[in-house]
Amino acid sequence: MQTIFHVTVWGEFRHEKKNPKVAEIYPRGMHETIAGFLREAGGMIVSTAVLDEPEHGLTAEVLEKTDVLVWWGHMAHGDVADEVVARVKKRVLEGMGLVVLHSGHYAKIFKALLGTTCSLKWRESTDKERLWNVFPSHPIAEGVGDYFEIPAEEMYGEPFGIPTPDELIFISWFTGGEVFRSGATWTRGHGRIFYFRPGHETYPTYHQKEVQQVIINGVRWARARVNIPDTCPNSPALEPLPEDPEASARPTIGHT
Identify whether 128 is part of a domain: no
Question: What contacts 175, CB < 8 A, 6 or more positions away?
Answer: 126, 127, 128
User: Strands 44-50 and 5-11, how do they pair?
Assistant: parallel
Closest-CA residue to 9 (of 151, 164, 252, 222): 222
Does a cis peptide bond (omega within 30 degrees of 0) precede residue 159? yes
What is the residue-level pLDDT of the chain in tens, covering all 256 positions? Answer: 568 999 999 999 999 999 999 999 999 999 999 999 999 999 999 999 999 999 999 999 999 999 999 999 999 999 999 999 999 999 999 999 999 999 999 999 999 999 999 999 999 999 999 999 999 999 999 999 999 999 999 999 999 999 999 999 999 999 999 999 999 999 999 999 999 999 999 999 999 999 999 999 999 999 998 889 878 888 899 999 988 777 666 666 665 5
Q: Which domain holds residue 73?
A: 5-116+184-230
Identify whether 94 is part of a domain: yes
Identify whether 123 is part of a domain: no
CATH number of the domain where residue 42 is located: 3.40.50.880
When divided into structural domains, the chain yields a total of 1
Identify whether 163 is part of a domain: no
Identify whether 76 is part of a domain: yes
